[in-house]
Amino acid sequence: MVGEMGKDKQTRQRGAVSIFVVVFSALFVTIITVSFVGLMIRGQQQAASADLSNSAYDSALAGVEDAKRMLLKYRQCLRGTTDYTVAQCNEVKAMFASPSCNMVRRNVTGINDNQEMPIQSSTGSVDSNSKALDQAYTCVIVGYTAEEKELQLRDGETVLVPIESNGSSYNKISISWFTKDPLTNLNLNLPSGGATELPTKSAWMAVGANNTRPPIIRAQWIQHSGTFSASDFDSDKTENFKTVANTKSVFLYPNTAGLPAYDLNTVDDRNAASPAIKAPVAVNCSTSQYNFGGYACTVDLNLPDPISNTGVRTGYLQLGAVYNASKIRIKLKNTNDPVPIVAPSIDSTGRANDLFRRVRVGVSFTGEYPRANFEVNGNLCKDFAVTNDSYLPGSCREDNP
């Protein structure tokens, strides 16, 4: 009897162990299953959020495109156009005078309300099928002028910037350049002495240095009165009983003790007999402003008199960065008073379902001013010959210019 009772006890113990093994195995499989399902759900949620985010971004871009068309309409109205009636031009001018979230929708639909602008996913009328993605841009504000204009220049790059003030008079351009890169966090290194000629790149900033130096800026001012010939830019001339200039150029040389302002009428740099033709102008740069996130160098360029008697300028500023890349800020002044500069911007908010995306972009009017056919950053080798029936490529090679 005792032996049989011991066997029954061992059997019950083995049964309990089996039950525990089954229970723990089931729990382990359940945990894995729940975790896998959770990963799948999170993946689906992330994919859905990414899809909605992209759709909202697309909606915001749709608002940007409608805003660009509105900008062109406004610009045509400012210049005088027969494409729009006086009433249409007055309406769009009033909207730019008091920008609001619905200005672009109002321009597109002609309806002055606070509703969002739905985005169609198909052509034709806006119906339930075309609005199936539930997309719209909710607020698009368009600005035409600003306190400043910013651009980014690569090392060796040159850009031509149209300068407009929307009818206000100005006689100075303030140029600021070079801000601190938060990724490299390098110290600012400025030369202490002036320069009689442009230095070499290796002399300007050593390769691998643990500091950085702002680029030398080549600034050229170009202006005209509407009609001109190429010879007008060769030298100053007398017009309306005063000496006027269509173009002036200067190299702005960063320095620890340079000038805060420079008069472009000081020297005619197109005249080969001028003794200062090759001398860069030392500009005052500040290490403290650079360290606190501001622009290291700033200079006010006093402009030549306007060519027209009205004081209105049609001008361009050509800027080139020599020996380093730089962010550049441009401001206009009338003596010491700030003047708004034409720098169109679009602030657009798009929606897809319940997710919103906001974008802000700057706009430039292209095709309205002369540009170079090509630009070379580095060496240029031009060695070829053309006859009536043949072409001789010469000795130039892309890898050895």
Please tell me the predicted confidence (pLDDT) of residue 6.
55
Question: How many CB atoms are closer than 10 A to CB 170?
Answer: 23
At residue 299, what are phi and psi to the nearest 5 degrees? Answer: -145, 140
Residue-level pLDDT at 83: 86
Q: How far is CA 206 from the centre of its chain?
A: 29
Q: Within 13 A of 137's CA, how many CA atoms are on the CB side?
A: 27
Beta strands 385-386 and 391-392: pairing type? antiparallel
164 by Cβ neighbours in 10 Å (0-12 / 13-18 / 19+) ranks as buried
What are the residue ranges spanned by the domains of the chain?
2-119+128-145, 148-339
Output the CA–CA distances (angstroms, integers) from residue 108 to 12, 67, 105, 220, 345, in the order listed.
83, 9, 5, 40, 18
CB count within 10 Å of CB 124 equals 8
Give the pTM.
0.75
**pLDDT computed for residue 73 by the predictor:** 93
pLDDT by position in tens, the chain (length 401): 555 555 555 555 566 667 777 777 888 788 888 887 878 888 777 777 888 889 899 999 999 999 999 999 999 998 887 888 999 999 999 999 999 999 999 999 888 888 889 987 655 555 555 556 689 999 999 999 999 999 999 888 888 888 988 888 898 999 999 998 887 788 888 887 777 778 888 888 776 666 788 999 999 998 877 777 777 777 776 666 666 778 888 899 998 888 899 988 776 665 555 554 567 888 989 888 888 889 999 999 998 887 766 666 778 899 999 888 899 999 999 988 999 999 999 999 999 988 899 999 988 876 666 666 666 666 677 777 777 777 777 777 656 55
The share of the chain scoring above pLDDT 70, in percent, equals 79
The reported pLDDT for the residue numbered 26 is 82
Distance CA 45, CA 120 (A): 25
Cβ neighbours of residue 207 under 8 Å, at least 6 residues apart? none
